Amino acid sequence: MGEIRNFRSGNQDEPPPHGPMPRRLAAIIVGDIASYSRMMQADEEGTHVRVKRIERDLIQPSIVEHHGALVKTTGDGFIAIFDSPVEAVRCSIVIQQNLIGRNASLPKHSRLEYRIGVNLGDVIVEPDDIYGDGVNIATRIEGIAEPGQVFISGAIYEQIKHKVVCGYESLGDRKVKNITDPVRVYRVLPDADAVGRTRSRRERVLLLLLITALLVIAGYVLWYVLVQHRSKVGQQAAAPPIAAPSASPTPPSVPSLPSPAVPAPQAAPAASPLPTTTPSPSPSPTPSPSAMAVREPEMIAIRGGSFAMGSNDDPTERPVHQVAIKPFSIGKYPVTVQEWNECAAAKACGFTATGKDDAPVSNVSWTDAQQYAAWLAQATKKPYRLPSEAEWEYAARGGTQSKYWWGDKLQPGMAGCKDCGDLAAEQPAKVGSFKPNPFGLYDMGGSVDQWVQDCWHRSYQGAPGDGSAWSGSDCASHVLRSGSWKNDSRYVRPSNRDGYDTNVRYPTHGFRVALGP
């Protein structure tokens, strides 16, 4: 059996107390390694070491970061409890997504993949274990989960469906062992599938890029051979029968071939077009990618000023406090797919985004957003960065102090959200589809959640009053603003704020950039 760890203080040698056992309502995570017996049989010591390393480096820190407690490990699995269903599901997603990265370079038969089940239930708490139907249901849900997936109960789903914004696939009511009533089960569809699709798309793009470069090179070589052959034939026909002795003429230099590392397939022919005349002995060099023009986001200059930041609508938005903002510029729109993919083509951003060019890029982590801002700053020699949380709210309000920038009541055509007056969509609308706020900024509410520079704090107690980003010793989470097309209208308020894991991608998360002051 596996190692047991205490999650409460207490002496295990003491006899159990008399009277009713302590109970609590908790979100329970049960995780288990798929194909563990087969892997142990193939490499017992190696598998044991790998499992312990994952528990030490990934599972335990993730549970702590999400304010949970590890109840025990069981050799091939673990059990943890949380006060918050939201934190339990977020922790499960973080574990699975980090495992994707760890497994990426391994053959399929060697991958350590966890099945994870999450349930909300009333449990009996002992110093080194927990008991009850709440734990049993979580265990049964884990048992039907697929490797690498997170399955949750209907009780968890009802608590998180408007708080953890991702996809959910209903698997219907399932009859599970030793549980009288059927259990409603949902599959969580966060970034894990998107990561796989992105990796496949990236591989296809690179393959297409290589094929295009090879075709261009082959076409150029063929053209060059034909031109040189015709040139020699013409020279032989025009030459006199007896030529005066002289040094052999220097053959024309072969022009530079197109580089196979062109950022996009369509750029290869443009970089080295096929000439219609004999090539020059000294052709101009192909410009390097760093010297090529970079598409900069359209920016709006914001005058400095002072405003009351926050609201009394939610504890995380309190206390309302006065903040002074220096002049700065902020993106007119969220960063688009086209803008992002220039960074991806330059190999400075971690994935190639899909969707229409004028749609906001999504499925972006805070770290991804930072990479884009750093690349844009380096490429343009301008101090691009993420806006601070105070700058974002100041810009989103547009000089107003009402519930929304247009007033205190919801109006159609002002923002893209779940109940903002338009039909629910499977993806955000293209940037600029809704009316701009008084500062001329679009989508400062709805569309995509937007990362800002600040670390996440649960309230504004101790927040800076000068508009600067609020850092901290623990930046495992960063702040999101705006709400998204999948959120309710209450998330569209300029004062609304949320935090999410720094390195985790989410389908509704995007960003915009800032400059200055």
Q: How many CB atoms lie within 10 A of CB 31?
A: 25
In whole angstroms, what is the distance from residue 35 CA to residue 112 CA? 8
Q: Which structural domain range is residue 126 located in?
A: 23-189
In whole angstroms, what is the distance from residue 25 CA to residue 49 CA? 34
Is 26 in contact with 134 (CB distance < 8 Å)? yes
Tokens 């679009």 -> residue: 442
- Burial of residue 65, with CB atoms counted within 10 A of its CB: 0-12 exposed, 13-18 middle, 19 or more buried: middle
- Domain identity same for 504 and 441: yes
What is the residue-level pLDDT of the chain in tens, covering all 517 positions?
A: 333 334 543 344 444 445 567 889 999 999 999 988 888 888 888 899 999 999 998 999 999 999 999 999 988 899 999 999 999 999 999 999 889 888 888 888 889 999 999 999 999 988 888 998 899 999 999 999 999 999 999 999 999 987 887 788 888 888 877 777 889 999 998 753 443 444 455 456 567 777 877 787 877 777 777 766 565 555 555 444 444 444 444 433 433 333 333 333 333 333 333 333 333 334 444 444 444 578 899 999 999 999 999 999 888 999 999 999 999 999 999 999 999 999 999 999 999 998 999 999 999 999 999 999 999 999 999 999 999 999 999 999 999 999 999 998 888 888 888 888 755 566 789 999 999 999 999 999 999 999 999 999 989 999 999 999 999 766 888 999 999 988 888 889 999 999 888 888 888 899 999 998 7
Question: pLDDT at position 506, please?
Answer: 84
Which of 137, 160, 189 is where one domain is finished? 189
Do the domain assignments include residue 212?
yes
Residue 77 — φ and ψ, nearest 5°?
Answer: -165, -170
Do the domain assignments include residue 490?
yes
* 185 beta partners: 153
In whole angstroms, what is the distance from residue 152 CA to residue 154 CA? 7
Cα 120 to its chain centre, rounded Å, is: 27
In whole angstroms, what is the distance from residue 361 CA to residue 331 CA? 14
- Domain identity same for 387 and 344: yes
- Domain identity same for 431 and 445: yes
- Tally the domains of the chain: 3
Cα 278 to its chain centre, rounded Å, is: 50
In whole angstroms, what is the distance from residue 248 CA to residue 231 CA? 16
- Domain identity same for 148 and 216: no
CATH code of residue 465: 3.90.1580.10
In whole angstroms, what is the distance from residue 185 CA to residue 38 CA? 28
Closest listed residue to residue 379, CA positions, set 510, 499, 290:
290
CATH code of residue 51: 3.30.70.1230
For the chain, the maximum distance between any two Cα atoms, rounded to a whole number of angstroms, is 121
- Domain identity same for 180 and 196: no
- Domain identity same for 320 and 181: no
- Domain identity same for 222 and 182: no
Cα 109-111-114 angle, rounded to 5 deg: 120
> Is pTM, for the whole model, over 0.85?
no
